[in-house]
Amino acid sequence: MAKRVLLAAPRGYCAGVDRAVITVEKALELYGAPVYVRKQIVHNVHVVASLESKGAIFVDETDEVPEGKTVVFSAHGVAPLVHQQAAARSLKTIDATCPLVTKVHMEAKRFAAEDAEILLIGHHGHEEVEGTAGEA
C-alpha cells in the first residue's frame, strides 16, 4: 500500500528560529528602522522579505553596518571574532543565536579546552559551521 506524504510550502521552523524572528521584530519596535541583521535570520525568503518590509536590513558582515547602529546576529550563531569586530565598531549587538546552537558552541569550547580533536561536519561556509568552528 503506497503512502502519500504532503509537505507544506513554506514549512514552519523550529523554536530557535521563531525566537530569532521575534528578536528582530522586538528590536524594530524598540529601536525603530533600520535594524541591521548579520546574514539571513533564517533560511526562509518569506520571513526575510517580511522583516525587510518592516525595516530590517540584511548584511553579510558587520563592516556593512554603520558605526554605532544596532545589529542582530542570526539564529545560526557567530564566531567570537564577529563579536569582537562588532565591539570594535561600537555596534549595539543583539544575539539571537538559537539556544541549541549555543549549546553546541559551549561543547566545542569545552572539547577545545581539553585539547581534544574535533571533527565538525556541516556545509562549508554556512554560518552555523563558521560560528562553531570559531569557538574551537
Cell reading at 5: 506524504
Gyration radius of the chain's alpha carbons:
17
Q: Is 29 a catalytic residue?
A: no
Beta strand pairing call for 56-59 and 92-95: unpaired
Q: Which of 61, 64, 128, 130 is catalytic?
A: 128
Q: Are 25 and 53 in contact (CB under 8 A)?
A: no
Q: How far is CA 119 from the centre of its chain?
A: 22
> Would you place residue 11 in the very low, low, confident or very high pLDDT band (cuts 50, 70, 90)?
low
Q: Is 90 exceeded by the pLDDT of residue 42?
A: no
Pure H helices in the chain: 15-31, 45-54, 80-88, 99-113, 127-135
pTM: predicted TM-score of the whole model, two decimal places? 0.82
* Mean pLDDT for the stretch of residues 15-39: 94
* Mean pLDDT for the stretch of residues 65-88: 94
Lowest mean pLDDT among 3-7, 58-62, 115-119: 3-7
E strand or H helix that includes residue 37: strand 35-38
> Would you place residue 43 in the very low, low, confident or very high pLDDT band (cuts 50, 70, 90)?
confident
